[in-house]
Chains A and B, each alone.
Chain A
Amino acid sequence: MGKILMKGNEAIGEAAIRAGCLNYFAYPITPQSEVAEYLSRRMPEVGGVFLQAESEIAVGNMLFGAAGCGARVFTTSSSPGISLMSEAISYISSAQLPVVFVNIVRGGPGLGGILPSQADYFQATKGGGHGDYRLLVMAPASIQEAVEMVMTAFPLAEKYRNPVMILGDGLIGQMMEPVEFPEHLRTEPSNKDDWATNGMDTRKSSKPNLVKTLFLNAEKLEEHNVILKAKYDRMKREEVRYEPYNTDTDYQALIVSFGTMSRVCRTVIDDLKAEGFETAMIRPQTLFPFPEEPIKQAALKESCKVIISIELNMGQMVEDVERSVQGGRPVHWYGKAGGDVPTPEEIIDVIKSFVS
C-alpha cells in the first residue's frame, strides 16, 4: 500500500484501528478534536466503539472500566483534558491496566493556548496524578513516527500492564505528512483471563477476578509498590529508545530535543555543518524511560563543550538531561512556551553564544 497524505490527528486515530484497537472514549478539546471527529465516522465502519463522554474525568474512568474487563482501549486529549484524566491514570497505573493515552499537548498553565507546546513533560514523565507511578511515554517527531508509536503502544501497554502515553504537540496533530500503516504492527490483544473482569463464563473459570487499587495493609501496599517499581525498572532496561543525529562527528555542542522541536534542531545541525561547525543531537523517543546513558556517553565526548536541552517549555527535560550528564559537562536550557516554535536561526545564535 502506498503512502497517503494525512493530518496527524486523523492518522493517530487510524493507527489505533490498524493496531487492533476498536474502543475509543474521548471528549473534544483543541488541538486534538479531529481524532474524535475522525473516529466517530471510522469506528462504526469497523464495528468498534466510539463514545463522546461528558468530561475527561468520565473518559478516564470509562477507560479504567473497559481496560479492567479486558478490552484494548485508548483515548486522545490535550493538556487540560489530561489533567482531568490524571485521577484515572493514577488508578489505572495502580490496577496495572493497559491503556493508551495520546496527549496532543497545548501551552499552559491553565487554559494556556492551543499552539504547539511541550509543557506537559513533567506531567507525563513524573506523574500528574497521585502516588508512585510511571507511564511509558513516547514522543513522535513526525506523523509517520506518531503512527508507529501508537501502533506499538498497545502491545507495550499489554506487556507491562501499564498505561502508555504518546506525547505529541499541536503541530503533530494539525500537520499533514505522507504516512503508511505498517501491517506488521497490527497485533492481537493479549489474553487477559488471569486478571480481567471479563466474566467467569467467558474464561470458563469459577474464580472471580478483581480489579482494585486499595491496599489498607501497609505490608500489602509496600509489596504492591515494589511490584510496580520492578516494572518501571524493567522498562528502563528494555524500552529506552532514542535517535542520535550527527554524533559520529567531533561536535562541539550536543543538543537534546524531542518531538517537533527536535526537527528544528535537525535543520540547525545541518545548517551549522554547512558552515563547518559540528553539533549533534540525541533525540529521546521515549521520555520515560529516559535515554540517560546514551546522553551521558554523547555528552562526555572529548570534543563536546556544552549540552543544550532545547524544549517548547520553560525548562523541564533539562532536569533529566542534567541528571544524565551528572556534572560531566555544562548543561544549558533554551526554549519558548508561548506557542511560537523557535526558528533555526534563533537556535543557531543560542548555540553559538553557549559555545563561545
Chain B
Amino acid sequence: MQREVMFAGFGGQGILLIGNILAHTAMEEGYEVAWVPSYGPEMRGGTAYCLVVISDRPIGSPIIRNPMHLVAMNHPSLEKFAPMVKPNGVVVINSSLIHIGSDRDDVDELLVPANDIANDLGSIKVANIVALGAFVARSKIVDFEVLRKCVQEQFSSKEKLIPINMAALEEGKKVAQIK
C-alpha cells in the first residue's frame, strides 16, 4: 500500500518542514519513505511544495502526478493541485488564507483556519504544524503519538519552541475531529 501527500504553499510557510516531519514519522513507524521537494528558482518566494511518499514496500517512482492527499496552505496551491488529488483523498485547506473550496465532491475536504489558530497561540509561524496536526488526525496516515514524538525531536535544538508547536499540533487535531 502506497500513499502520497502533497504539501504546498508559499515559500516561508514551512511547507518543506512539515513534509519532512511526516516523512520522519512514517520512517519511525517502519515505512519506506521518500521526500521529494520542488527545487530551483520557484523556491525563491513563489510556490513551495513537496511530496511525501509512504509505502510498505520499496518505493518505485518518486514522481507522482496524482497524490492521494493534499495540504494546501495558500490559494494558488489549492487551485494547482486540488484537481490532481485521487478520489477519497484528504484535502486540507488553510481557510485563513483560502476562501474557495477544492471544487471536488469526491474528496474529504477539511477546512483549517491554520493562520488564525497559530496567531491565537502566539505565533503565525506554527500555522504549518496546525495543518499537519489536522491532516494526520483526519487521514490517520501515521500514528499521532509517534508524530508528537517527531515534532518534539524536530525542535529539540530550539527547546523553547517545543510547547507552542505541541500546542499547534493538538489544536490542529481538534479541528479535524469536528466533523
Contact = CB atoms under 8 A, between A and B. Distances in A.
B168 to A, nearest CB: 21
Interface string B39-62: 110000000000000000011111
A5 B40 contact: no
A3 B61 contact: no
B35 A177 contact: yes
Residue of B23, B37, B39, B58 with highest tally of chain A CB at under 10 A: B39
B61 A264 contact: yes
Interface size class of B (residues with CB under 8 A): 10 to 19
Contact of B37 (A174, A177, A264, A270): A174
A176 interface: yes
A156 interface: no
Interface string A147-170: 000000000000000000000001
B142 interface: no
B178 interface: no
A344 interface: yes
A177 B40 contact: no
Contacts of B20: 5, 176
A270 B24 CA distance: 26
B33 A177 contact: yes
B80 interface: no
Contact of B36 (A5, A171, A264, A345): A171
A-B pairs with lowest CB-CB distance, top 4: A267-B60, A176-B35, A264-B61, A266-B60
Interface of A: 3, 5, 30-31, 114-115, 142, 170-171, 174-178, 260, 263-264, 266-267, 270, 341, 343-345
15 contacts: A3-B27, A5-B20, A5-B35, A114-B39, A171-B62, A174-B36, A175-B34, A175-B36, A176-B35, A176-B37, A177-B33, A177-B35, A264-B61, A267-B60, A270-B60
